[in-house]
Structure 1
Amino acid sequence: MSAKRMLPIARAAGYEGSARNFRRLVAEAKLLWRNEHHRGRRPAVWSPGEYLVIDWAQAAPGLLLFCAVLAFSRWRFVAFATDQRASTTLALIAEAFNAIAGVPARVLADRMACLKGGVVANVVIPTAEYTRLASHYGFAPDFCHASDPESKGIVENLCGYAQRDLAVPMLTEAKIAGVPVDLQSANAAARAWCVEVNAAIHSEI
């Protein structure tokens, strides 16, 4: 209920302050209520080979990061690209499978336009191209619920880690050396970075 709708009720109950102060009071009360009545979230329990979670991140103007992580083992795949077109995304999913040397049961993505053909009853329908790729490799496409970024927090963490630990140092070194970063050298650095981070055993597993 909005402060505008509540104000006449509050005035009838004896409130004598201004409408502006009332709006502030209502906003503060709503914030406190939301903090104390969070909808909660059960921690995800992953199974081996069940989910590959994918997402895009910005590395620099004109340079993007495709990130994928196997949910159970925390195995990471990162590659650079210059666009987020469907053909690029599908090719990078296939490249991730090749690097894994296997195919998970499901691939979880947010509602990215390049993979989303439409939405029916709040269920995402994958594009024909994505469906063909899924049929070829034998995995099931899965999509997050709308406005629910927490459901793929595992890959959001990877995006931030890759930006800080891979993209920023690489771009900084290139800037200092006065050498432009091309896609081929960026992806060579990404492959080396993936070998390094995947060699470390994750604390939770």
Structure 2
Amino acid sequence: MKDALETVKILAAYDLTKSLRGAAELTGCSHHTVQRLVAERDAGRAPGSGPVRERIIDPWLPKIEDWVEASHGRIRADVVHEKLARMGYTGSDRSTRRAVSEIKAAYRRGNRRVHRPWVPEPGLWLQYDFGDGPVIGGVKTVLFVAWLAWSRFRIVIPLRDRTAPSVFAALDQAFRIIGGAPTYVLTDNEKTVTTMHVAGVPVRNQATLAFAKHYSVDVLTCRPADPASKGGVENAVKVAKADLVPKETNLLPQYASFAELEQACRDFMVMVNSREHRTTRRRPLDMLTDERPALHRVPDTAHTVAYGVGRKVPENTPMVSFENAQYSVPAHLLGQDVFVRSHGTGPDTQVVIMHVGADGPAEVARHGLARPGSPAINDEHFPDHQEKIPGDYRPVPRSAAEAEFLAIGAGARTWLLEAAAAGTQRINVKMAEAVALAKIAGTAEVDKALGLAAVHQRFAHGDLASLLTAASQRAGLRTAAEDKSLTQGTAGWAGLGATDSGEGTR
């Protein structure tokens, strides 16, 4: 078979000589080849294509077309071959695959979706979607990616999960990053946005409606299984995953903490928004400056659904439950409503507790992730708490007599604890005796005697009076001060062996 250049030269030689043999001599081929090429040209066929030969599968092509049409171009060639074989087809599976491929290509050409270029307006559209983030501490993260359609400004925020509080908190953060809220927010049909479809019409989630009203945005969803309707953010997710998730294609190391991933996302946003976009030939950061006046103002406070799930603090203990674990809050929040959410992932996971008061929302507590049965407690949340230790009793008077005895002093309280632990009999009578002695001998002296009795386990009848008597007798003894001593000196030994001056030596 002659190639295209040889075919053109042969036909040019024939047009020059109008002779089959003359053209053959000029081009060095057979005059039969010249005759065949000229005949194909005169018949309207491409010269050199050869005659169209019938194939064994040609009679079955209409049936294959029906199957391709019924399956919307998804039927497999091996399935077609099995069906044809049962109907009497004797050709090879190679011929079947070739025919199915040709018919599918024709079907796609006839049913191809034509995309009209979308020309967005400033301040109207923001699209968001999610991508699989890196694994940190054995826990998989989520990348929240938002894309402002007109300026092509991209936002990437790492999340621990895709629950409504996390998603709405990320949207609030995205609005504040771009400096305003758009008119429309477009996303997928997730449960956080759409609860169900009725006759193809999405039914909105009530939490989403409350969020949209707070920020004055209209949250819309694309058609199911139609990523082309939000292709801008789909491409942004692909780029973010390629640059942020450790893979063999980028050789990124694993992230040591969730905070490290957050910093990587911030660096990524600075990088992509500071370089020229290939479509607009402008930097998204510069275009955002032009688009910002078309955005409307973001409320000063975020919607409460962005703070987390609501919890009511009990009236008697400042603890709230979250994901089967308990966390403490300041005691002044007893009986009030708070919002709890988790932030981060793996060992860096933190539980953040918010309270919306008269001055707006404020973070009131932050704990590490607790486990069921092991509550997270901050001692500062229990300012008046006295730890209860088994066996550590604090005397509390229940009558006037008890109060009068305990008023003697610390020795009296110690005596009571020790006497009770020793099982002392008629303890009330001995307490009354101590009160009477305090009025006679003095409160301080009796308090000291009670302390001595407690130390030496002297709880019998008359022991207290005996200790007081012994103390009074010791009061008349000579005592030494710090600058004096009662120890006998050695001055008397100085004259030992000396003779009287009036007598001679014997």
TM-score class, shorter: 0.7 to 0.9
1:17 aligned residue (75, 78, 89): 89
TM-score (norm 2): 0.35
Match of residue 278 from structure 2: 203
Q: Aligned partners of 1:59 and 1:74: how far apart in 2?
A: 22
Q: Aligned partners of 2:128 and 2:180: how far apart in 1?
A: 16
Note closer, same or farther for the CA distance 1:19–1:59 as it changes in structure 2 (3 Å cut): farther
Question: In terms of mean alpha carbon deviation, does 149-158 or 119-128 score higher?
Answer: 119-128
Match of residue 59 from structure 1: 133
Match of residue 261 from structure 2: 186
Note closer, same or farther for the CA distance 1:36–1:173 as it changes in structure 2 (3 Å cut): closer
Note closer, same or farther for the CA distance 1:24–1:82 as it changes in structure 2 (3 Å cut): same
Match of residue 2 from structure 1: 67
Note closer, same or farther for the CA distance 1:2–1:139 as it changes in structure 2 (3 Å cut): same
* Cα contact 1:69–1:75 (8 A) shared by 2: yes
Aligned residue for 2:243, secondary structure, equals helix
Aligned residue for 1:165, secondary structure, equals helix
Match of residue 68 from structure 1: 146
Superposition pairs for residues 161-176 of structure 1, below 5 Å?
Answer: 161-168=239-246, 173-175=252-254
Q: Aligned partners of 2:187 and 2:241: how far apart in 1?
A: 19
Note closer, same or farther for the CA distance 1:92–1:30 as it changes in structure 2 (3 Å cut): farther
Post-superposition Cα deviations, 1:28-81, rounded to whole Å, max 9, x if no partner, equal 244212331212121211111111110000123401111000011000100111
Match of residue 95 from structure 1: 173
Larger radius of gyration: 2
- Which amino acid is the alignment partner of residue 198 of structure 1? N
Q: How many residues align?
A: 192
Aligned residue for 2:245, secondary structure, equals helix
Match of residue 123 from structure 2: 49
Match of residue 136 from structure 1: 214
Q: Aligned partners of 2:170 and 2:156: how far apart in 1?
A: 9
Note closer, same or farther for the CA distance 1:58–1:18 as it changes in structure 2 (3 Å cut): farther
Post-superposition Cα deviations, 1:102-149, rounded to whole Å, max 9, x if no partner, equal 001100101122221221231222211111111000110111112211
Match of residue 228 from structure 2: 150
- Which amino acid is the alignment partner of residue 142 of structure 1? L
- Which amino acid is the alignment partner of residue 67 of structure 1? V
1:19 to partner: Cα distance:
9.6
Post-superposition Cα deviations, 1:2-32, rounded to whole Å, max 9, x if no partner, equal 37x9x9xxx9xxx851599597567424421
1:166 to partner: Cα distance:
2.5
Q: Aligned partners of 2:120 and 2:172: how far apart in 1?
A: 22
1:159 to partner: Cα distance:
0.7
Note closer, same or farther for the CA distance 1:93–1:32 as it changes in structure 2 (3 Å cut): same
Question: In terms of mean alpha carbon deviation, does 79-88 or 27-36 score higher?
Answer: 27-36
Identity of aligned residues (%): 28
TM-score (norm 1): 0.82
Q: Aligned partners of 1:49 and 1:34: how far apart in 2?
A: 40
Q: Pairwise CA RMSD of aligned residues?
A: 2.7
- Which amino acid is the alignment partner of residue 101 of structure 1? G
- Which amino acid is the alignment partner of residue 77 of structure 1? I
Note closer, same or farther for the CA distance 1:190–1:18 as it changes in structure 2 (3 Å cut): same
Match of residue 123 from structure 1: 201
Aligned residue for 1:190, secondary structure, equals helix
1:173 to partner: Cα distance:
4.6
* Cα contact 1:126–1:141 (8 A) shared by 2: no
Question: In terms of mean alpha carbon deviation, does 180-189 or 124-133 score higher?
Answer: 180-189
Q: Aligned partners of 2:210 and 2:170: how far apart in 1?
A: 15
Q: Aligned partners of 1:144 and 1:19: how far apart in 2?
A: 45
1:199 to partner: Cα distance:
1.7
Aligned residue for 1:2, secondary structure, equals helix
Note closer, same or farther for the CA distance 1:149–1:30 as it changes in structure 2 (3 Å cut): farther
Q: Aligned partners of 2:108 and 2:151: how far apart in 1?
A: 33
Q: Aligned partners of 1:20 and 1:139: how far apart in 2?
A: 60
Q: Aligned partners of 1:159 and 1:77: how far apart in 2?
A: 10
Q: Aligned partners of 2:251 and 2:191: how far apart in 1?
A: 31
Match of residue 77 from structure 1: 155
Is residue 105 of structure 1 aligned with residue 183 of structure 2? yes
Q: Aligned partners of 2:128 and 2:188: how far apart in 1?
A: 8
Relative contact order: is structure 1 or structure 2 higher (C-alpha 8 Å, sep ≥ 6)? 1
Match of residue 35 from structure 1: 108
Q: Aligned partners of 1:133 and 1:140: how far apart in 2?
A: 10
Note closer, same or farther for the CA distance 1:109–1:150 as it changes in structure 2 (3 Å cut): same
